[in-house]
A and B are shown apart, each in its own frame.
Chain A
């Protein structure tokens, strides 16, 4: 049939058409900044208002420089440590809460209230959070120290903000505290997207809450879970706000993350845009590799299912097209 092929092409067209706004907006607003980031790393561009910059003779000098930079290595280690410290509690508690709040057997009263409240730390700005936590852990007089002293846990006040491990822990806690609600909401919305039919079927089969969660919710949540893992990885490795405004990477670089490092390269006085950009590129490669691994681990059902469904749809479309093509117009 002549119009069969015609149909196939016209569908692909919609794929392009519906992506067009994204592409146009990207080209207008983000293409230049992105390319700018990509190129600067290979140049000698530093200093304020420098418009006269060139590609380096050895284009990878900045990259070598950054990799051998001790502060960068420290910041990379910090980033990973702090991310891991907040990621595991975060995802565990978010999953747990999701299980509770979407469970059909264990009715927790007021779960609507809890769902709303747990996200609230996420709507306060990082700057405000930083001010509050600095005040809470103030030394030698401050709420936590007053509590420690009056309860007799300690004899002398403890300077949390000068202790490297305490500072890391606090930053990890703040990250956890501001983001677990966010993760929970994402997961819950993912569960809401699962067809109720499946749950009804499970109930009829007599599955209990735990079984339902692991056998039905988790597998069906896989795509959204992948989103959660990837964005948390990207967000974690690009962690910037809290470490920056809480202690500006201190004490003694204990909370210096790679993004704070990059910002300091670019803004703390020498305007080393080229090194900042090279460090960004290195981070980008690291994040891409880690994400690729995640995609690969989670790959099987996700992609395969999609492909299958599309093939199925195509087959159906074919069938339909063959039987009654006119309706398509």
Chain B
């Protein structure tokens, strides 16, 4: 009796869980479907009915518009965006993990004040600070340069915070100690023991960092003025910004081309999130 009851309730649970997940799946995929469908529709079709699930036959002409626009060079934009995003993501992940390691694995006098400081920086509203940032970059003539968009990522308070929080329960000090006994240097301990154990955390933050870096528009728009250094989102913004006669079909096509690399990177990295229990490394 009891067993059957449990099974029934279990089945009810499973069904409702699937219904709920299916609903969320539709919500999540809808914008992508709309984006793809709209990439095949003409500007005036989109103006008349902005949302549609029925594809049209204007994909080719939208593509022609993109090609004719001198400013939209998908290959170049892709390359520029990739340099910035990969650079910024690598900096964020590696150095944030390192900083978190410093905060968790060692006992030093300024440890707590330093953590408090990082948290304080994390909480500053960005609007005014970004004004200060680009004014400063103009002053030292760092415009049309990717470095101001990459190197600041080394100091990423949010990521450090996450890495620290993640490390506290999952980095057993005993392992570090035993590594030390084996004669490993501190850098080797960090690179070969701490880093592998942080895989799920790093993958998670890598996705977030990559996405936000890839999508950012404000700072690149102000700091980069030369066409050949434009990023993908800047090129799409340019299409969308032709205020008197916006070609919406090609804007959606551009948006889709912009989101495509993100999807690829995300699917690649999501392996580390999907994997069941990933911490094989804990036991050395």
B204 A186 Cβ-Cβ under 8 A:
yes
Could you say which of B28, B126, B190 contacts A238, with CB atoms under 8 Å apart? B126
Given contacts A14-B186, A116-B266, 11 further A-B contacts (CB under 8 A): A12-B106, A22-B98, A97-B21, A115-B273, A119-B207, A123-B211, A123-B263, A128-B35, A192-B278, A193-B166, A306-B168
Cβ of A60 within 8 Å of any chain B Cβ, yes or no, is no
A185 B154 Cβ-Cβ under 8 A:
no
Q: Digit string of B166-187 for contact with A (CB within 8 Å is 1, else 0)?
A: 1011100110110011010010
Cβ of B3 within 8 Å of any chain A Cβ, yes or no, is no
B274 A25 Cβ-Cβ under 8 A:
no
A114 B120 Cβ-Cβ under 8 A:
no
For the complex, what is the distance from the CA of A22 to the CA of B120, rounded to whole Å?
14
The 5 tightest CB contacts between A and B, nearest first, are A135-B50, A33-B132, A15-B108, A36-B132, A18-B102
Cβ of A136 within 8 Å of any chain B Cβ, yes or no, is yes
- Closest beta carbon of chain A to B93's beta carbon, Å: 12
A181 B28 Cβ-Cβ under 8 A:
yes
Contacts from B to A (Cβ < 8 Å)? 10, 13-14, 17-18, 21, 24-25, 27-29, 31-32, 34-35, 50-51, 95-96, 98-99, 101-111, 114, 118-133, 135-136, 148, 151-155, 158, 160-162, 165-166, 168-170, 173-174, 176-177, 180-181, 183, 186, 190, 200-201, 203-204, 207-208, 211, 215, 217, 233, 237, 255, 259, 262-263, 266-267, 270, 273-275, 277-279, 282
Cβ of A206 within 8 Å of any chain B Cβ, yes or no, is no
For the complex, what is the distance from the CA of A220 to the CA of B277, rounded to whole Å?
15
Could you say which of A34, A36, A188, A227 contacts B162, with CB atoms under 8 Å apart? A227
Nearest residue (CB) in B for A136 is: B51
For the complex, what is the distance from the CA of A108 to the CA of B13, rounded to whole Å?
10
Contacts from A to B (Cβ < 8 Å)? 11-19, 21-26, 28-30, 32-37, 40, 97, 100, 106, 108, 111-112, 114-125, 127-129, 131-132, 135-136, 138, 142-143, 177, 181-182, 185-186, 188-190, 192-196, 220, 222-224, 226-227, 230-231, 234, 238, 240, 258-259, 262-263, 266, 273, 276-277, 280, 283-284, 287-288, 291, 302, 305-306, 309-310, 312-314, 316-317, 320, 327-328
Could you say which of B104, B131, B136, B152 contacts A266, with CB atoms under 8 Å apart? B131
List the B side residues contacting A12 at CB < 8 Å: 106-109
Q: Can you list 7 A-B pairs with a CB-CB distance of less than 8 A? A: A21-B98, A34-B129, A108-B18, A125-B215, A189-B204, A192-B277, A259-B126
List the A side residues contacting B277 at CB < 8 Å: 192, 196
B155 A25 Cβ-Cβ under 8 A:
yes
A288 B155 Cβ-Cβ under 8 A:
no
B151 A25 Cβ-Cβ under 8 A:
yes
A15 B102 Cβ-Cβ under 8 A:
yes
Could you say which of A13, A22, A287 contacts B160, with CB atoms under 8 Å apart? A22
For the complex, what is the distance from the CA of A288 to the CA of B123, rounded to whole Å?
7
For the complex, what is the distance from the CA of A97 to the CA of B24, rounded to whole Å?
11
Q: A106-B14, A112-B274, A196-B277 are in contact. Are A132 and B51 (CB under 8 A)?
A: yes
For the complex, what is the distance from the CA of A224 to the CA of B205, rounded to whole Å?
13
- Closest beta carbon of chain A to B140's beta carbon, Å: 10
B interface, over-half SS: helix
Which of B28, B186, B274 has its CB near the most chain A CB atoms (within 10 A)?
B28
For the complex, what is the distance from the CA of A129 to the CA of B34, rounded to whole Å?
11
A116 B267 Cβ-Cβ under 8 A:
yes
Nearest residue (CB) in A for B276 is: A192
List the B side residues contacting A277 at CB < 8 Å: 128
- Closest beta carbon of chain B to A68's beta carbon, Å: 20
Q: A224-B166, A309-B173 are in contact. Are A189 and B203 (CB under 8 A)?
A: yes
Nearest residue (CB) in A for B123 is: A287
Q: A12-B109, A327-B183 are in contact. Are A117 and B204 (CB under 8 A)?
A: no
List the B side residues contacting A306 at CB < 8 Å: 104, 168
Q: A19-B102, A182-B208, A288-B120 are in contact. Are A29 and B148 (CB under 8 A)?
A: yes
Q: A21-B154, A108-B17, A320-B177 are in contact. Are A195 and B282 (CB under 8 A)?
A: yes
B155 A33 Cβ-Cβ under 8 A:
no
